[in-house]
Structure 1
């Protein structure tokens, strides 16, 4: 009885120490996890290119795929930075429009005194807001540089990973178990990222079309932000449709533009979520919906906004790792949707529901 209590105390202490390390080392861990996810995406892209044309050498295809992924990520960061700069420049006009909306709301509710924006949220300093945004962009820039460095080392050292695993494991049986776990993690993350990328691109295309059709400003910025938000499970698309709708309410003197943006995005999201997404996803993402919500909350508290983007990949990793140890198998079963986290009996088998990356 005493030994069991000691073991339980050690497990709780170890979990608390791991959570503390993840929090205090988040500036190092977040770029590393992002680089790993990008490397998995590159691996899928390499196989897809080899399927189309097997002649080019693997190193050249890997280099081209890596450059494509990093270029797209860098372009997205640049579009976000440019969009934020434009929004700061439009700050006074936006505040004036918000103040007019506040006064209109006060008149609608028959308030005795005019309702001004400053009376509700206080004074807003545009220079201070611009400084805060610039500071955040600098943080994004340094984080992106670290991601690129990690990404390069992961791609360069992935072929040596097998030898390292065999030497670190000590025995062939343990090495095989570690390799199988890594293959499962990579396959599941690859499936998740590929599905989210395809469905996110469909939703983003619809959102960009409707935003451009009504004449919303900074469409490129909103398109990039919306595409990134589609990677946040359950709430990403809703949040991504609310913000441009609110800014359309600020930009235009009428409300129909805002209503159209929100309605079209929600209609397309319903179609994709009920027809396209389940067909592509099938049973490859074996995570319980409640566990998804809990992981979203947990990683958001731990790592902030990046944690929301990485919640599902991190949960997939933990589910596979926990499933390899008898003492933590129950945790893996609780995280899974059907109680059987090891859904692919053959770890080398690629997901059957998605054939594009193969």
Structure 2
């Protein structure tokens, strides 16, 4: 008989952990259509709950019961969702109708640029143009985008339904937890972890949403001043993609700048729009966001990038948008238990919060 079972136990634990990770990854992949609306609904409830709490601090709405404040926020959420869906559908329809004009303007712009640099009649450059830009079909590209828009609209509708039921049942969750976990210590610890997740994620999502609304409004004004088609749609895209750390701002600028290029066939206008949108992104990313968010989500930059890669692999662009709040939830859960606390430390950017908490409680 072995005298020291620790190596066997470690190997067993490692094997079970690896099997669990593979199973979770498999479930995330095949359950994308089912799980994604539920996750979006849960995160939406965080925003609704945090916004309802914030309304309680305002003089006009502070006297209202929390139930009424929550109802107001739910109605506002549904109104915003309906407006967003309407903008997406109308814009996709109009872009399909304008696709031939955009195709013509793109070809005109390429001809003008080639004439400007003196290579208009060069057969080599013409061959390169035909092999690259010449193969672009604006109608096909916009059609694919319209299909993606339809899928997003369907997901938001399902998320709204789930969010309504979750909001309605949120008030009874504490009682359910006390019944499910009769042991007061376990129930109290679990409730502490849940409350910490609620506070951290709710604060992050609410502030991030406010920042994105500000960024979207600034970009909307810029695009409107230049007369860019569907300025509201592109401002919404910029605001939505700004949920993605590091890369979202780049993607958000790229789409409206490309539309400006094919709409006006003018290099100066395109460069001006690019410069102003980039300046707005830099102001938000380097000044506004650090001041408002700060260390709300305490994750190292490498962990953020790795989380983006992981969630994007399984769920695409929606996964990239959800990567930070989902990974932050995982970090908070890991920090709540002594056995997994070292993993939470490795995920953190600022480990001083763990150094001040040697007792193993969830760090604030």
Aligned to 2:3: none
- 1:37 correspondence with 2:43: yes
Structure 2 CA distance, aligned partners of 1:240 and 1:341? 34
Structure 1 CA distance, aligned partners of 2:30 and 2:127? 44
Task: Give the 3 Å change call, closer, same or farther, for CA 187–273 of structure 1 in structure 2.
Answer: same
Structure 2 CA distance, aligned partners of 1:149 and 1:344? 42
Q: Following TM superposition, by how much is the alpha carbon of 1:272 offset from its aligned partner in structure 2, in angstroms?
A: 2.5
Q: Following TM superposition, by how much is the alpha carbon of 1:335 offset from its aligned partner in structure 2, in angstroms?
A: 1.4
Q: Is the 8 A contact 1:23 1:302 kept in 2?
A: yes
- 1:111 correspondence with 2:122: yes
Structure 2 CA distance, aligned partners of 1:281 and 1:116? 46
Structure 1 stretch 309-318 or stretch 198-207: which is displaced more? 198-207
Alignment of 1:9-158 (within 5 A): 9-52=15-58, 53-104=61-112, 108=117, 109=119, 111-112=122-123, 114=126, 119-120=131-132, 122=135, 124=137, 126=139, 132-158=144-170
Q: Following TM superposition, by how much is the alpha carbon of 1:248 offset from its aligned partner in structure 2, in angstroms?
A: 1.0
- 1:331 correspondence with 2:337: no
Q: Following TM superposition, by how much is the alpha carbon of 1:42 offset from its aligned partner in structure 2, in angstroms?
A: 0.8
Secondary structure, counterpart of 1:318 in structure 2: helix
Q: Which has the larger radius of gyration?
A: 2
Q: Is the 8 A contact 2:89 2:150 kept in 1?
A: no
Aligned to 2:181: 169
How many residue pairs are counted as aligned between the two chains? 346
Aligned to 2:4: none
TM-score (norm 1): 0.88
Structure 2 CA distance, aligned partners of 1:342 and 1:162? 28
Task: Give the 3 Å change call, closer, same or farther, for CA 94–327 of structure 1 in structure 2.
Answer: same
Q: Following TM superposition, by how much is the alpha carbon of 1:170 offset from its aligned partner in structure 2, in angstroms?
A: 3.2
Task: Give the 3 Å change call, closer, same or farther, for CA 145–243 of structure 1 in structure 2.
Answer: closer
Aligned to 1:227: 239
Task: Give the 3 Å change call, closer, same or farther, for CA 180–340 of structure 1 in structure 2.
Answer: farther
Q: Following TM superposition, by how much is the alpha carbon of 1:38 offset from its aligned partner in structure 2, in angstroms?
A: 0.9
Structure 2 CA distance, aligned partners of 1:261 and 1:9? 54
Q: Following TM superposition, by how much is the alpha carbon of 1:122 offset from its aligned partner in structure 2, in angstroms?
A: 3.4
Q: Is the 8 A contact 2:243 2:321 kept in 1?
A: yes
Q: Following TM superposition, by how much is the alpha carbon of 1:304 offset from its aligned partner in structure 2, in angstroms?
A: 0.8
Deviation readout 1:12-61 (Å, 9 max, x if unpaired): 11111111112211111111111111111111121122222333233222
Name which of 180, 190, 194 aligns with 1:182.
194
Aligned to 1:268: 280
Aligned to 2:295: 283
Aligned to 1:356: none
Q: Is the 8 A contact 1:39 1:155 kept in 2?
A: yes
Q: Structure 1 stretches of 5 or more lacking a match?
A: 352-358
Q: Structure 2 stretches of 5 or more lacking a match?
A: 1-6
Deviation readout 1:243-271 (Å, 9 max, x if unpaired): 21121111113212211222112222222
Structure 1 CA distance, aligned partners of 2:325 and 2:355? 16
Structure 1 stretch 289-298 or stretch 130-139: which is displaced more? 130-139
CA RMSD between the two structures: 2.5
Q: Following TM superposition, by how much is the alpha carbon of 1:299 offset from its aligned partner in structure 2, in angstroms?
A: 0.5
Structure 1 stretch 86-95 or stretch 263-272: which is displaced more? 263-272
- 1:199 correspondence with 2:207: no
